[in-house]
Amino acid sequence: QLQLVASGGGLVQPGGSLRLSCAASGFAFDYYGIGWFRQAPGKEREGLSCINSSGSTTYYADSVKGRFTISRDNAKNTVYLQMNSLKPEDTAVYFCARSRTSSCSGYDYWGRGIQVTVSS
């Protein structure tokens, strides 16, 4: 069965760091781009970052550029999102998704999310 499960969330103080993991199974992971998204209550879903199938190309939204870093380990079927200098406005449910192609394009499968809360 196809699964994308985010983990590594929790409560962190402003300025702190977290590393999220997206564990994939049930498909040929190294053939697909993977994106990270988030959604806070009352707000639209926001695309944060994406990495292509080989890991050679990455994309970042302006809201996280310079603070977040996406990476992948195809041997472990896992994509990571290193989040530094966290702000209260980063509080949201974070989840990963599979691209329809090997690059970052539209998405056809949305995984299970994890809560990230940034608060003093």
Enumerate residues 6+ apart whose C-beta is below 8 A from 56.
Answer: none
Closest listed residue to residue 90, CA positions, set 56, 42, 49, 48:
48
pLDDT at 107: 96
Strands 114-118 and 10-12, bridge-based pairing: parallel
| Residue 111 DSSP symbol | -
What is the residue whose two structure tokens read 């195809």?
A: 74
Per-residue pLDDT band at 44 (split at 50, 70, 90):
very high
Is residue 31 classed as helix, strand or coil in its secondary structure? helix
Q: What is the pLDDT of residue 119?
A: 97
- Residue 96: beta bridge partners? 36
